[in-house]
Structure 1
Amino acid sequence: MPRAATQAAATQGTATQTASTQAAPSQGAGPDAANRLRAVIEAIRVAAYPMDEMPALDRALVLAADGRRDVRRLLVSPFVREGVFAPAIAALEVLVAAYPSQVEDRRLLASLLGRTEQWDRAIAEADAAAAIEPGTAALHGARIQLRLQAGRVADAAAVARATAGLAEQAPGDAHFWLLAFMRNGDAGEAARMASLLDADNLPNERVAGMAVRALLEDHRAQAAIRLGDAALAAGHDSAPLRTSLGMAHLRRGTEDDRKVHAPAHFEAGLAMSPADVRLLSLYGETLLRAGRYKEAVAPLKQAIDLAPELEQTRALYARALRYSLQYADAADQFLKLLDQSPDKLLWQRSAIAALSQAGRTQEAEALFGRYVAQRGAALPDTFAQALAQLDERLDTAPIPRARFDWAWSLRGDKDADRAKWERAARWGHLVDHLLFDWLECREDNVEEAMRMLGDLDPGERFFAPLLAAGRGVVVATAHVGPMYAGLMALELVGIPSRWLATAPRIAQSSYAEALISTADQTEAQVAKACMRAIGAGYVLCLAVDGAANPAAPRTMFEGQEVTYSSFASHLAHRLGVPSVFYAPRWEDGHVTYTLAMLPAATPGEDANAYAQRWQQAYFERLREHLAGPPENLRMSGGIWRHVKPADRSAQ
């Protein structure tokens, strides 16, 4: 039979069984019927267009010849192997009409209808098969699978919910139930089912991998790790299992989790699935955040070679190149990101820093002008108008729920109304970013924003005796409150200051000279600039909870891992200068400040011992600030970056 003709037949519609109602006696019986059936099968198989011969295969003939086995073996199976589905579907429809209680015929028919995307008919046949044997979990699994393939996620989850008991009793196909729940956003239901599995008797690798993923998505990292380890011990290894298990270790987040366990699982997954783009991206990012910059380059490059449209992966690749000191290549990658999304501010800012670091100053300056102009065009004419618009934008503040929950647990006012508290926190987040935009994009009208500043005299009096000694001062702050107001305040009172900031050196505003950029300088260059500033008698302001380095050290604070650099305390110890805790805050609609001395080193005190004492005092002050009004939280960057939901494994 010509293959071209056979493939053409696959595109024809399924034939209507016009002869299916003919009476069996008119067709004869016994050997004659069997011979006629085989002749019909042969004619269909050799036909240039098999569908033209299908009407000869009818229900009465099949019944008379008792021909179910022959039709399956000689007609359906060959067409399925050849990928010619239309005649296979037509033949199965005849068998279903002849033998309506045969579950396997309906199940195969549903599968083929699904493969040809005839979803309504496929689902109807799967439902009919399950109705014949309602206690067979695999048949309900097929019902769920087809609905998922058809994009009917809510319907699939409803079937899964109604038949969950079957999957729990016979978990071999439980991955369909788990997947339906997760795709429908029912992480709790998926995790509940996963938690009922016998960790020492998991049925197969598909269920094991999906169950670990379900626990992870319900924020049960510890439980996911336990189940994943049990699956590996039972030999149920797979790339999806390794993916979820590695992510569970990242979610749990100890140093060994991040630097040892997670990379090992991703590496093992890639050994089984070397072209898995998600695994390559996760592996490269994990190496990058573990400080293994050069090792991170290869998997991230492979990932974007396979999927060049993945912006976040390309950004990680660019960062890996940067921290491997391949500045020109890093700049090229950020420019490719700009080609993909030319109006995305994050890529513009990253490209400016990369171009500057690569020595491509003119390109960086041109892009910076475009970056400022684009942001400025989105601002209203006056700062008062911009403030008035904040209330309309509160719900758009991109703050993860976990940050709200953590900050709520730290509040001092235990009688606060949660909804009002959250609105105030959102306002504090938006207003600080507005201050930054106004400072950088509305330099001619920056005095409008400066009217938000409160009485600056207390701050000037606080620093006067510290600076009178002719030495610099280390000021330690955090990503809290209206932090961008600090530049304006020190500029107004004339205190000589330098600020560590992610703004690139190419910034052209009046405050740019006060910045020590971490965006386009190495850590060694930044450290030298800081020591020069202290030596020159400047107030040096550092957010010790922030770092551009993706492998920045972390420490535990109030139940969360936060970025923390001991650089400020070591600098104060080494240079013998005073250090100050500083946090901006709102009071009666104006910006004021908390200023408090941090410990001074005692004669002969060891640097590490001093750093520990200094850290404790810093966090005590920060904790006091976080307990205050919610508009002073800010909720982005620094201590907020790695906040994660509480682990629900105990539930």
Structure 2
Amino acid sequence: MVDTVIESSRPAAGAEAREATARLREVIARILASDDPERDMAELEPALRQTRDGWRDVRRLLVAPYMRETRFAPAVAALRVLIAVYPERADDRRLLASVLGRMGQWDRAIAEADAAAGIEPGNVALHAARIQLRVQADRVAEAADVARTTLALARSEPGEAHSWMMAFVRNGDAAEAAGIAAALDPDKLPNERVATMAVRALMEDGRNVAAIGLGDAALRAGQDCAALRSSLGLAHLRRGTEADRKEHAVGHFEAGLKAAPADVRLLTLYGETLLRAGRYKESVAPLARAIELAPELEQTRGLYARALRYTMQYDDAADQLLKLVEKSPEKLLWQRSAIGALSQAGRKAEAEALFEQYVARRGALLPGTFQEALARMEERLDTAPIPQARLDWAWSMRGDKTIDRAAWERRARWGHMIDHLLFDWLECREDDVEEAMHLLGELDTGERFFAPLLAAGRGVVVATAHVGPMYAGLMALELVGIPSRWLATAPSIAQSSYSAALISTADQTEAQVAKACMRAINGGYVLCLAIDGAANPAAPRTTFEGQDVTYSSFASHLAHRLGVPSVFYAPRWENGQVAYTLEMLPAANPGEDAEAYAQRWQKAYFERLREHLASAPENLRLSGGIWRHVTSADRSAQE
């Protein structure tokens, strides 16, 4: 490093040098004592130029005290003088860039960091500062560009690799970040920051197994910290085995909270993971603490409300959701959740009033006619919020291997969006519901199918899934007059012609729902259950076509216990109208125990579901139920 001063002002050695140093320190003392240090800073440069190494005194005696007192403006002024006298000292520019960044003066901060790196282009830490400042300034594309052009530096100095990985991750360049992480030696990780960011980078690139392996290696090396535990717990959740969800992730979040008990992110993750593991009582405290520390976090408050509900604190759950409705009245999810909570708490009048507002708000967003709504939907197909992993999984199960992928995806998006449109029209435009009836195909087939099954005076268990135009089923059965009951998340207070046919899971306990189902069967109703969906956050899962899917054996056990027939049902599109797949599921053999029957029944159910998923892409739906937990294949072994 070169310390440059103007040669003509270079002081003599010995006594004169000591006098120059003494004068500089007197100037520094006067500036520190001044009511207006920036005004008196004019004395600093002449005094500094008379010394050889006066920068040390300025940094130690003037800049450092201002930094400790967070008096950034005079610190900046002093650093400006240092840079004027010693323009080739990169470290002063680096510190100035840092101070300007803390002041939010991003353009100036970035310019100084770039200048420092220009003086010492091989200094990895200076390039890391260039990247960090751009990330902090939310100029992530620029940060990624700098990271890309200086990538060799990150690989040469792993201790600074955190900044490069962060820039790539924040810019959505997960593969580039993961490339840096994968090149690290897991047994020689340089520090906790790099280890944490490497785990995150691998996870963001879908390499969860590799992320877990690297994180475990960091822990073995003693590099334990709250941030690493947070990332490692998330990697386990994304890998998603039962042990990951119920043991490993919980353990990492617990360990992280021991180091950082007030970390709101960790508290939320810990509480949510306990909730989804069915440990409802344990989930309440961390979620309550999280919203105490950060009351503005809506998702955390929503999780807290769910925890309260599942610990039967219904009034408190309703109050938490009403706070969310008040804060974000435009978010329909909070309104619907609050309606169910109010109803479950016995606050029917409040629930009904909010339901009217909820329906009115959604109805106001719909066009005047159903045909207009269809046309508008067609224009917005590309906006359908379908995760890519779901599309990839469905594509792997398609029956037509010659179909064009782009055309297939467009038709799949159409099927997704029209089912949600049918739901909105059915619930919000009841007076105009007949406008949508033209989509219903021939209904006599269904009537003929169920007639002999119902003739015995007892009901029928109908097993369906979140596929096809689900909501058309309500309209169809209502039209043909088949006595039916549907398990649904709609609240019991819904004021519509079909609401009497619903058994609500939104505002009843699981025991109440089960009793209502048995009453329906014994009363001679067709009981329709989407067995791949459950309101319970800890609903059991099983493996289907390589993915974890929610699956309830309730339907098969109900059919076995009550000795009634069971049917596989799936609505589908055929020539622009809704048709219905109806196929018998196995009956129990004489003396067959419930578990053996449930296994045989499950196999038959999934065989029929698999056939449906291989049909036209319009019939997929791609939301809820079997689609909820779909993840992309782990990429760790591919690299």
Q: TM-score if structure 1 supplies the norm length?
A: 0.93
Distance (Å, rounded) in 1 between the aligned partners of 2:495 and 2:110: 63
Asked if 2 retains the 8 angstrom alpha-carbon contact of 1:222 and 1:252, the reply is: yes
User: CA shift at 1:125, angstroms?
Assistant: 2.7
Distance (Å, rounded) in 2 between the aligned partners of 1:632 and 1:311: 34
Residues 372 and 107 of structure 1: CA distance in aligned 2, closer, same or farther (over 3 Å): closer
**What amino acid is the match of 1:584?**
P
Distance (Å, rounded) in 2 between the aligned partners of 1:559 and 1:477: 20
Distance (Å, rounded) in 2 between the aligned partners of 1:504 and 1:39: 77
Q: Structure 1 residue 463 and structure 2 residue 434: aligned? A: no
Distance (Å, rounded) in 2 between the aligned partners of 1:247 and 1:236: 18
Distance (Å, rounded) in 2 between the aligned partners of 1:366 and 1:216: 45
Residues 82 and 427 of structure 1: CA distance in aligned 2, closer, same or farther (over 3 Å): same
- Secondary structure at the aligned position of 1:287 is classed as helix
Q: Which residue of 2 aligns with 1:257?
A: 244
Indicate which of 273, 277, 281 corresponds to 1:286: 273
Q: Structure 1 residue 114 and structure 2 residue 101: aligned? A: yes
- Secondary structure at the aligned position of 1:385 is classed as helix
Residue ranges of structure 1 left out of the alignment (5+ in a row): 1-19
Distance (Å, rounded) in 1 between the aligned partners of 2:288 and 2:271: 9
Deviates more, 1:393-402 or 1:634-643: 393-402
**What amino acid is the match of 1:520?**
D
Q: Which residue of 2 aligns with 1:583?
A: 570
Q: TM-score if structure 2 supplies the norm length?
A: 0.95
Residues 52 and 348 of structure 1: CA distance in aligned 2, closer, same or farther (over 3 Å): closer
Distance (Å, rounded) in 2 between the aligned partners of 1:81 and 1:400: 48
Asked if 2 retains the 8 angstrom alpha-carbon contact of 1:27 and 1:60, the reply is: no
Matches within 5 A, 1:146-225: 146-225=133-212
User: CA shift at 1:22, angstroms?
Assistant: 9.9
Distance (Å, rounded) in 2 between the aligned partners of 1:25 and 1:452: 92
Q: Which residue of 1 aligns with 2:76?
A: 89
Deviates more, 1:479-488 or 1:126-135: 126-135
User: CA shift at 1:324, angstroms?
Assistant: 0.5
Distance (Å, rounded) in 2 between the aligned partners of 1:330 and 1:64: 70
Asked if 2 retains the 8 angstrom alpha-carbon contact of 1:22 and 1:60, the reply is: no
Q: Structure 1 residue 50 and structure 2 residue 34: aligned? A: no
Asked if 2 retains the 8 angstrom alpha-carbon contact of 1:57 and 1:94, the reply is: yes
Distance (Å, rounded) in 1 between the aligned partners of 2:391 and 2:277: 27
Residues 470 and 188 of structure 1: CA distance in aligned 2, closer, same or farther (over 3 Å): same
**What amino acid is the match of 1:607?**
A
Indicate which of 22, 37, 57 corresponds to 1:35: 22
Asked if 2 retains the 8 angstrom alpha-carbon contact of 1:289 and 1:551, the reply is: yes
Residues 89 and 568 of structure 1: CA distance in aligned 2, closer, same or farther (over 3 Å): same
Distance (Å, rounded) in 2 between the aligned partners of 1:324 and 1:542: 25
Q: Which residue of 1 aligns with 2:86?
A: 99
Q: Structure 1 residue 234 and structure 2 residue 221: aligned? A: yes
Q: Which residue of 2 aligns with 1:556?
A: 543
Distance (Å, rounded) in 2 between the aligned partners of 1:166 and 1:65: 33
**What amino acid is the match of 1:30?**
A
Residues 114 and 581 of structure 1: CA distance in aligned 2, closer, same or farther (over 3 Å): same
Residues 488 and 234 of structure 1: CA distance in aligned 2, closer, same or farther (over 3 Å): same
**What amino acid is the match of 2:134?**
R
User: CA shift at 1:377, angstroms?
Assistant: 2.3
Asked if 2 retains the 8 angstrom alpha-carbon contact of 1:23 and 1:60, the reply is: no
Distance (Å, rounded) in 2 between the aligned partners of 1:573 and 1:323: 29
Greater than 6 Å deviation, 4+ residue runs = 25-28
Indicate which of 323, 341, 354 corresponds to 1:336: 323
Residues 81 and 536 of structure 1: CA distance in aligned 2, closer, same or farther (over 3 Å): closer
Q: Which residue of 2 aligns with 1:630?
A: 617
Structural RMSD (CA): 1.9
Distance (Å, rounded) in 2 between the aligned partners of 1:113 and 1:278: 28
Distance (Å, rounded) in 2 between the aligned partners of 1:113 and 1:386: 52
Q: Which residue of 1 aligns with 2:472?
A: 485
Distance (Å, rounded) in 2 between the aligned partners of 1:450 and 1:624: 27
Matches within 5 A, 1:439-458: 439-458=426-445
Q: Which residue of 2 aligns with 1:384?
A: 371
Asked if 2 retains the 8 angstrom alpha-carbon contact of 1:364 and 1:506, the reply is: yes
Deviates more, 1:75-84 or 1:602-611: 75-84
Asked if 2 retains the 8 angstrom alpha-carbon contact of 1:27 and 1:33, the reply is: no
User: CA shift at 1:389, angstroms?
Assistant: 2.2
Q: Structure 1 residue 538 and structure 2 residue 525: aligned? A: yes
- Secondary structure at the aligned position of 1:180 is classed as helix
- Secondary structure at the aligned position of 2:573 is classed as strand
Deviates more, 1:314-323 or 1:55-64: 55-64
Aligned length: 632
**What amino acid is the match of 1:390?**
M
Q: Structure 1 residue 371 and structure 2 residue 379: aligned? A: no
User: CA shift at 1:26, angstroms?
Assistant: 9.1
Residues 503 and 101 of structure 1: CA distance in aligned 2, closer, same or farther (over 3 Å): same
Asked if 2 retains the 8 angstrom alpha-carbon contact of 1:21 and 1:59, the reply is: no
Q: Percent identity?
A: 75
Asked if 2 retains the 8 angstrom alpha-carbon contact of 1:37 and 1:62, the reply is: no
**What amino acid is the match of 2:156?**
Q
User: CA shift at 1:320, angstroms?
Assistant: 0.8
**What amino acid is the match of 1:512?**
S
Distance (Å, rounded) in 2 between the aligned partners of 1:123 and 1:65: 29
Residue ranges of structure 2 left out of the alignment (5+ in a row): none
**What amino acid is the match of 2:504?**
S
Q: Structure 1 residue 75 and structure 2 residue 59: aligned? A: no
User: CA shift at 1:427, angstroms?
Assistant: 1.1
Deviates more, 1:55-64 or 1:125-134: 55-64
Residues 422 and 87 of structure 1: CA distance in aligned 2, closer, same or farther (over 3 Å): same
Residues 467 and 164 of structure 1: CA distance in aligned 2, closer, same or farther (over 3 Å): same
Residues 488 and 270 of structure 1: CA distance in aligned 2, closer, same or farther (over 3 Å): same
- Secondary structure at the aligned position of 1:57 is classed as helix
Q: Structure 1 residue 24 and structure 2 residue 48: aligned? A: no
Distance (Å, rounded) in 1 between the aligned partners of 2:409 and 2:50: 71
Indicate which of 417, 429, 446 corresponds to 1:430: 417
Asked if 1 retains the 8 angstrom alpha-carbon contact of 2:174 and 2:201, the reply is: yes
Residues 315 and 68 of structure 1: CA distance in aligned 2, closer, same or farther (over 3 Å): closer
Residues 21 and 345 of structure 1: CA distance in aligned 2, closer, same or farther (over 3 Å): same
Q: Structure 1 residue 396 and structure 2 residue 396: aligned? A: no
Distance (Å, rounded) in 2 between the aligned partners of 1:21 and 1:200: 50
Deviates more, 1:139-148 or 1:565-574: 139-148
- Secondary structure at the aligned position of 2:346 is classed as coil
Distance (Å, rounded) in 2 between the aligned partners of 1:361 and 1:225: 48
User: CA shift at 1:285, angstroms?
Assistant: 0.8
Residues 572 and 126 of structure 1: CA distance in aligned 2, closer, same or farther (over 3 Å): same
Q: Which residue of 2 aligns with 1:6?
A: none
Q: Which residue of 2 aligns with 1:17?
A: none
Deviates more, 1:416-425 or 1:561-570: 416-425
Asked if 1 retains the 8 angstrom alpha-carbon contact of 2:11 and 2:52, the reply is: no
Q: Structure 1 residue 513 and structure 2 residue 500: aligned? A: yes
Deviates more, 1:431-440 or 1:256-265: 431-440
User: CA shift at 1:455, angstroms?
Assistant: 1.1
Residues 108 and 439 of structure 1: CA distance in aligned 2, closer, same or farther (over 3 Å): closer
**What amino acid is the match of 2:9?**
A
Deviates more, 1:587-596 or 1:439-448: 439-448
Residues 485 and 74 of structure 1: CA distance in aligned 2, closer, same or farther (over 3 Å): closer
Distance (Å, rounded) in 2 between the aligned partners of 1:71 and 1:400: 56
Distance (Å, rounded) in 1 between the aligned partners of 2:285 and 2:18: 68
Distance (Å, rounded) in 2 between the aligned partners of 1:635 and 1:649: 26
Cα offsets for 1:24-74 (capped at 9, x unmatched): 169995344333333333332333322233222226753544423333333
Distance (Å, rounded) in 1 between the aligned partners of 2:181 and 2:591: 57
Q: Structure 1 residue 522 and structure 2 residue 513: aligned? A: no
Asked if 1 retains the 8 angstrom alpha-carbon contact of 2:462 and 2:568, the reply is: yes
**What amino acid is the match of 1:338?**
V
Residues 574 and 108 of structure 1: CA distance in aligned 2, closer, same or farther (over 3 Å): same
**What amino acid is the match of 2:481?**
G
User: CA shift at 1:300, angstroms?
Assistant: 1.0
Q: Structure 1 residue 143 and structure 2 residue 130: aligned? A: yes
Cα offsets for 1:462-515 (capped at 9, x unmatched): 112211222211110001001111112112222111111111111121111111
Asked if 2 retains the 8 angstrom alpha-carbon contact of 1:357 and 1:520, the reply is: yes
User: CA shift at 1:23, angstroms?
Assistant: 4.2
